[in-house]
Structure 1
Amino acid sequence: MFERLLSKIKSYNPQLDEELLIKAYTVAKKYHEDQFRLSGEPFINHPLEVAGILADIELDQTSIIAAILHDLIEDTELSYNKVKKEFGEKIANIINGVTKLDRIVFSSKEEKQVENLRKMIIAMSEDIRIIVIKLADRLHNMRTISPLSPEKRQLNAVETLEVYAPIAHRLGIYQIKSELEDLSFHTLYTKQYEKIRKMVKEKVKQRQAQIDEAISIIAEKLNEVSIQADISGRSKGYFSIYNKLTKQNRSFDDIYDLIALRIIVEDVKSCYAALGIIHSIWKPVPGRFKDHIANPKFNMYQSLHTTIISHRGDPLEIQIRTFEMHKFAEYGIAAHYKYKEGIIQPTEFDKRIAWIRQLLDWQKELKDPQDYLESLKLDLFEEEIFVFTPKGKVINLPRGAAPIDFAYQIHTDIGHNCIGAKVDGVMVPIESQLENGNIVEIIVSKTPKGPSRDWLGIVKTSNARNKIKQWFSKEERQESYNAGRELMLKTLRKNSLSFKDVPMKVFVEVAKELNYENADSLFRNIGSHKVSVHQVFTRIIKKLNQGQTVEKEIAIEDLKKPVEARRFSSGIIVKGMDNVLVTIAKCCNPVPGDKIMGYITRGKGISVHRNDCNNVLTLMKNDRQRFIEVNWDSYTPYKFNAEIQVEAIDRTKLLRDITSVISEYDLNIINASAMRSNKLGIARFRFIIEISNKYILKDIIDNLKQIGSVYDVYRVLPRKQS
């Protein structure tokens, strides 16, 4: 097997250091000597096969040697330093990078999945060959997946389809991407795979004569004008066909690029000349021409695509590119590491890895795992259109993008202050969908305006979405800070204190005790109701007492007495009355933050209702004089009952996931009930929980809505009378 690998590498790399390659093989064979794969074959076969995949795309010697050694640091006692000493720092670092990726286990837990994706992207930024070797490693594992258990095969196939194949696509390594998709497709949907394979085989058989005839005609016409070309046919990947059939709801006969002709010529001039000749022979299908030479794809893929109606009346896709473009179409970013030096200019390479740098920027900016995962998925799976600035600059955007996306692509400030757009000289709504070839001009507000939250439901680019979210996050942080300081100031004033009486170091100490970074963070969390101002005030008083004389302590204790006395109340302040029996009405279960009013009952004290409670509306008609003003006592750490309903598509472990979210808030569940509709598969859960205010309730509801298969969560309130 090694001899075959050696022969393959020498066929494209005559400058190979054969001695170093043999040394790598000898070391790998020695350390893997007693190791076997699940299939029973010697383990050494695996790294040799991975190296063979890289040799198929003609990668450099460094990549091949790193591939042969890639499992040694993880699976044997060979150390990083030993590899570095024997084979150099570059190879050792690549192997170390692959080893780190091998330790990734993708989990259904979103935070873990995001963290693992972050590790992959960091590895790509360190040396792109790390991820190329990992892709080859995954490809061989998918080729030899049969010895694994059905569950493990399914898991690996899903990982491959959702993570590895899209990354190969993003890096432009079509050869690996296509096979990864088809192998995963075969594992996950065997019947559909076999059905499509047979359909493609039959279609190719039917159209072989047409393809051969078209190749012959094109070759003859190109030869007449002295254009040397390689012409061949190729079938579309099975998974790609399956996607078009299912996601685009198309019939098998409507897939024009099922079989395509590929014409490879010497230079760009010959590409356009060949296109002109083809269009002079056959009629092109309107709207099917794409110039990816002038407008390369996100991964710098270049080619001319056209679909013609052949003399037999059937559509046929034709792709035209140079030999250099073809290498990048097949090998993508890996082409930079072919054995010859200088095959790609540094500036061109920078364009190709710009996507990776963007992802690294996002991982610094986006702290929320959900946001990062969303950005990554948007960017991995987008399909492109090309639009122009008024000055003719090409802007790549995903299909379905709006002028707002375009604005943010130009500059963040232009996006934030966008108030309108002209497309091809005509004013359009900023939520309009852009199309290929549009010339777009953004109308900007003369005064700083800021984005609208509604834009989050319009934009298609992760760039625009992230910039909008960052703007609102910054705004909300400032609003929370201001609100927190104001709440703190009011509390201090009620107790005859001010900010002057509390040294800043006291706020800092309290912030640290509550696990906040600094005083600013403490105020923000008070303002967003994540910590109660009463809790902070109590800690401040204790700290002030520690540094004062006994006389001062007594004075401060006197200040606290009214606050302590309120703890024995119901959490409600009744205007003009003390020591009165107060109860929370069970008909509407108000919680702090709700608008409330009191009703003087006959012999049972005061009953507190929500303003919109049905009973209040009824009693108001007859006993208006019995209503009295009441307010929430913000100093009382009382718990109140709130009722919520969760509606979801039923699945296993759904109840566990719901109660897990509620338990994170350390709340009591007073009552719980569940109901399932067998016909629709819909589950409804109702919980009565103890909370201290409606802001916590809102936070709980927001987090419950993030659970997979949950489609609605809401607080159960009394129905209003009509």
Structure 2
Amino acid sequence: MATVTRVLPWRRAANRPPSAEIAPLLAEFAKHHPKAETTLLEAAFAVAEEAHRGQNRKSGEPYIRHPVAVATVVARQGLDDISIAAALLHDAVEDTVVGIEELEREFSAELAGIVDGVTKLDRVHYDSKEEQQAATMRKMIVAIAQDIRVLIIKLADRLHNLQTIAGMPAFKQERTARETLEVYAPLAHRLGMQEMKMQLEDLSFAALHTRRYAEIDQMVQLRAPERDLYLAQVIGDVQARLAELGIRADVEGRPKHLWSIYEKMVVKGRPFDEIFDLVAIRVICDSVRDCYGALGSIHATWRPVQGRFKDYIAMPKFNLYQSLHTTVVGPQGKSLEVQLRTREMHARAEHGVAAHWDYKEDSPGGDLAWLNRIVEWQQETSDPSEFMSNLKFDLDQDEVFVFTPKGKVIELPVGATPIDFAYTIHTDVGHRCVGAKVNGRLVSLDTRLESGDSVEVFTSNVEGAGPSRDWLKFVASRRAANKIKQWYTRERREDAIEEGREDLIQALRREGLAARRILKEPVFETVLEAMNYADEDMLYAAIGEGHVTAHTVAERLGRELRGEEETETTVEAQRLPSTVNRRSGGRRRVNQS
């Protein structure tokens, strides 16, 4: 394998000015890190440029433009130079002779680890595309848990692939777009990267449903002037009210997201006019205090809609998102959605963990509970389709936040019950759960939990206590459902083993055989091997589950035993005549003499 040293022209021309190809990237990096050096970025670009020399994308353009574009997207998120350098090199291992070991030796273990996490495992062969996707996703999830930058680079990679999707074959366009909507866009949402999420969704929408995308885009453009006039009036009114209170804030309209419009039209059956007429604004303040002050002013100006106020500042969402949400009846009696947040909260809402994480100091695993949950799944689930199903299900779920008796916040899917809560605490707590209190009141185990509930569960100490099959009818989390199914699978197997063993003993006795002695003799091992069972428990389970009858096995054992006895008899029979002949022959010789 070639080494990085052989493809490091920057070593031979250290004073050469940076290529014009990465000038925009360096400028973007400087916006967020004005005092930082760019040596690492220039070195990484030199390696990537040499590694991809002579390679072109499907569109015909030089391949190096792809990693540069990906790195530029990463730079816009404000990430550090190691992250951007890893983005420049993210395809070098996958598509060239450069290896992870070389990157680690020439750059750092940190950078090499990020690149390795992003690599798509194209050099490994799987039995199916589904297995390949699941294996790739498993590796990425583990790498994400170690360093969240892996996912940020992967999302940037997917974004640029969608921006240049026209160069792909039609079947690959569809597969890429669908995978993005099912996995990557929800992952961006989980990280709080809303701007990235919306771009991924709209680009995938355009690729998957070209005609519908064009129709909705045209409807938006036709209605935009009228809506913009109304929006300008609302923004002016809010700014005037806030100025009276001395609150400094930026007030802006929230852009319409074409994929979300399509989803509401198709999934919820709402007409376009109803969706588009719902105007939304965002108020960005200097402080949390100003956010609440602005909220009071807006509620004093327009009547709030009951049940539509959410305080995500006091209780942040799973992805650390913070804002105040409210809906009011605005001018002309139209519904007006309002978000209020500080500037720091706005940066976090748009760019998620990329906006606030100190990558060198800590890991996001402790704050992003959903990530820990997915890591647990990939360790527990061997079936690729089950893993991908669990992942897609969890990414698509909304959450509620409840408290343990000690005040710890537990994240659960909407519709979760005390049983889901119990399994989140510990598998054994779930298995043994017999009762629950919510907010100090005894409730049934199928009670739906709501955000802010304080939950306490009670467990049984009775030996052999386990879950009820009925729980599968109302649990909301895949974790709880999987654990219940696993318990019954294990219990069924243990019961089947015991039942199968007893059935075989009875069948052997009916054959007139000494059952317990036979099961300890070598002939039993011979029959196990002949019937392709690795051990006796597998045979007993097969009998107990009805895959083979005890009578069949007993007959097989009987034949083997009779065969051994016949062999012994034959050998003895062959031995005895030989002795007689020698004796008779001796007598005959004596008589003849």
Which residues of 2 match residues 402-421 of structure 1 at below 5 A? 402-413=417-428, 415-418=430-433
- Partner in structure 1 of residue 513 of structure 2: 496
Which residues of 2 match residues 198-277 of structure 1 at below 5 A? 198-255=218-275, 259-277=279-297
1:451 matched to 2:471? The reply is no
- Quote the offset at 1:510 in angstroms: 5.8
Unpaired segments of 5 or more residues in structure 2? 1-20, 573-593
Change over 3 Å in CA distance of 1:284–1:107 after alignment to 2 = farther
The range that moved more, 86-95 or 197-206, is: 197-206
Change over 3 Å in CA distance of 1:509–1:206 after alignment to 2 = farther
Partner deviation per Cα, 1:314-362 (whole Å, 9 max, x = no partner) = 21111122333223222223345568x66xxx48x23344322222222
1:483 matched to 2:499? The reply is yes
Cα distance in 2 between the residues matched to 1:61 and 1:498? 72
Amino acid corresponding to residue 44 of structure 2 in structure 1: A
Change over 3 Å in CA distance of 1:35–1:282 after alignment to 2 = same
Change over 3 Å in CA distance of 1:456–1:186 after alignment to 2 = same
- Quote the offset at 1:287 in angstroms: 1.5
Check the 8 A contact 2:518/2:524 in 1, yes or no. no
- Partner in structure 2 of residue 523 of structure 1: 540
Cα distance in 2 between the residues matched to 1:129 and 1:538? 63
- Quote the offset at 1:78 in angstroms: 2.2
SS of the residue corresponding to residue 167 of structure 2 reads coil
Q: Residue 486 of structure 2 is aligned with which of 470, 491, 503?
A: 470
- Partner in structure 1 of residue 192 of structure 2: 172
Cα distance in 2 between the residues matched to 1:466 and 1:523? 25
- Partner in structure 2 of residue 383 of structure 1: 398
Cα distance in 2 between the residues matched to 1:154 and 1:106? 21
Change over 3 Å in CA distance of 1:396–1:356 after alignment to 2 = closer
1:130 matched to 2:128? The reply is no
Structure of greater relative contact order (alpha carbons < 8 Å, 6+ residues apart): 2
- Quote the offset at 1:7 in angstroms: 0.9
Normalized against structure 1, the TM-score is what? 0.68
Amino acid corresponding to residue 474 of structure 2 in structure 1: I
Check the 8 A contact 2:192/2:353 in 1, yes or no. yes
Q: Residue 28 of structure 1 is aligned with which of 48, 54, 66?
A: 48
- Partner in structure 2 of residue 357 of structure 1: 372
Change over 3 Å in CA distance of 1:64–1:384 after alignment to 2 = same
Change over 3 Å in CA distance of 1:260–1:505 after alignment to 2 = farther
Check the 8 A contact 2:281/2:339 in 1, yes or no. yes
Change over 3 Å in CA distance of 1:482–1:307 after alignment to 2 = same
Change over 3 Å in CA distance of 1:388–1:511 after alignment to 2 = same
Check the 8 A contact 2:140/2:150 in 1, yes or no. no
Cα distance in 2 between the residues matched to 1:170 and 1:419? 33
Change over 3 Å in CA distance of 1:475–1:210 after alignment to 2 = same
Change over 3 Å in CA distance of 1:79–1:435 after alignment to 2 = closer
Which residues of 2 match residues 54-133 of structure 1 at below 5 A? 54-101=74-121, 111=131, 113-133=133-153
Amino acid corresponding to residue 469 of structure 1 in structure 2: K
Change over 3 Å in CA distance of 1:111–1:288 after alignment to 2 = same
- Quote the offset at 1:482 in angstroms: 0.8
- Quote the offset at 1:252 in angstroms: 2.9
Cα distance in 1 between the residues matched to 2:389 and 2:224? 39
- Partner in structure 1 of residue 591 of structure 2: none
Which residues of 2 match residues 557-572 of structure 1 at below 5 A? none
- Partner in structure 1 of residue 313 of structure 2: 293
Check the 8 A contact 1:233/1:261 in 2, yes or no. yes
Cα distance in 2 between the residues matched to 1:209 and 1:106? 56
- Quote the offset at 1:182 in angstroms: 0.6
- Partner in structure 2 of residue 332 of structure 1: 352
- Partner in structure 1 of residue 3 of structure 2: none
Cα distance in 2 between the residues matched to 1:300 and 1:504? 64
- Quote the offset at 1:444 in angstroms: 6.1
Check the 8 A contact 1:32/1:76 in 2, yes or no. yes
Change over 3 Å in CA distance of 1:68–1:316 after alignment to 2 = same
- Quote the offset at 1:134 in angstroms: 1.7
Partner deviation per Cα, 1:379-433 (whole Å, 9 max, x = no partner) = 0101223455677665433233344434434554554455566667777654454
Change over 3 Å in CA distance of 1:86–1:336 after alignment to 2 = farther
Change over 3 Å in CA distance of 1:36–1:440 after alignment to 2 = same
Partner deviation per Cα, 1:588-645 (whole Å, 9 max, x = no partner) = xxxxxxxxxxxxxxxxxxxxxxxxxxxxxxxxxxxxxxxxxxxxxxxxxxxxxxxxxx
Check the 8 A contact 1:256/1:316 in 2, yes or no. no
Q: Residue 332 of structure 2 is aligned with which of 312, 319, 327?
A: 312
- Quote the offset at 1:298 in angstroms: 2.5
Cα distance in 2 between the residues matched to 1:511 and 1:264? 73
Check the 8 A contact 1:418/1:442 in 2, yes or no. yes
Cα distance in 1 between the residues matched to 2:243 and 2:319? 32
- Quote the offset at 1:375 in angstroms: 2.2
Amino acid corresponding to residue 481 of structure 2 in structure 1: R
Check the 8 A contact 1:257/1:317 in 2, yes or no. no
1:398 matched to 2:413? The reply is yes
Change over 3 Å in CA distance of 1:123–1:219 after alignment to 2 = same
Q: Residue 476 of structure 2 is aligned with which of 460, 467, 475?
A: 460
